[in-house]
Structure 1
Amino acid sequence: MSYGLRAGLPHVDDMPAAEIVLVGPVTRDEVSGLCSDVRALLKRTGAKVVICDVAALGPPGLTAVDLLARLELTARRAGGRIRLRDPDPALPALLDLVGLRFEMEGQPEQREPARCVEEAVETGDPPV
């Protein structure tokens, strides 16, 4: 019995993803409608990931942070998550500043460093 191997990671590459394009500036009144759109998109497509193209969102600010936080919360409640595509370089820094972590398309997943890991000390090394 033989079979061919596919390139890539099957469990990651086979995950369906839905896409939405966010065009700014987004007002506070539009946020609830966008959250409803994300919820409906996840339900309709059966996807677990919503890729948000944020290239046209405009300059990063607290309104964008609020929008993305609400979209992420909506997606999580619906059993999915948000992945950002083509963010302004300042947006990930701003999100990090306020304590929000988003997966960025095309970037490797960042993990926390292992806890309780000690570096081995060679005998004869001067104390630090």
Structure 2
Amino acid sequence: MRTIVCDLRGVAADCVTVDALARIHLAARRAGVDLDVRHASPELKELLVFTGLSGVLGVEPRREPEEREELLGREEERELDDPPA
């Protein structure tokens, strides 16, 4: 299958860009061609996530790891008169 590479370096993160990418993706799909989106800015990636197109276009934003308590080696606190489970 053929692939079109779409370099988004320097492209504005706005609704016009999102619309254009959606149309290009649809045209490529109808023609039986894959679309490879590269170098999207973090702002554009977030906008694509917001519009639901990030998965379709294969553009995923960088995510910070979730803050969560590390439970390894720790026991839950309990009252002294509670029987162990």
Common fold: TM-score over 0.5: yes
C-alpha distance in 2 between matches for 1:73 and 1:67: 10
Task: Give the AA of the match of 1:52.
Answer: C
Q: Is 1:103 aligned to 2:61, yes or no?
A: no
3-state secondary structure, aligned to 2:47: helix
Q: 1:87 aligns with which of 22, 33, 40?
A: 40
Q: Is 1:71 aligned to 2:30, yes or no?
A: no
3-state secondary structure, aligned to 1:91: helix
Q: Is 1:60 aligned to 2:13, yes or no?
A: yes
Residue in structure 2 matched with residue 48 of structure 1 by the alignment? 2
3-state secondary structure, aligned to 2:10: coil
C-alpha distance in 1 between matches for 2:36 and 2:25: 9
CA RMSD of aligned residues (A): 1.9
Identity of matched residues, %: 34
C-alpha distance in 2 between matches for 1:48 and 1:95: 24
**Which gives a bigger RCO, structure 1 or 2 (Cα 8 Å, sep 6+)?**
2
CA-CA distance at 1:81 after TM superposition: 2.1
C-alpha distance in 2 between matches for 1:51 and 1:72: 11
CA-CA distance at 1:56 after TM superposition: 2.4
Segments of 5+ residues of structure 1 without an aligned counterpart are: 1-46, 108-125
Task: Give the AA of the match of 1:76.
Answer: R
Moved over 3 A (4+): none
C-alpha distance in 2 between matches for 1:48 and 1:97: 29
Segments of 5+ residues of structure 2 without an aligned counterpart are: 61-84
3-state secondary structure, aligned to 1:71: helix
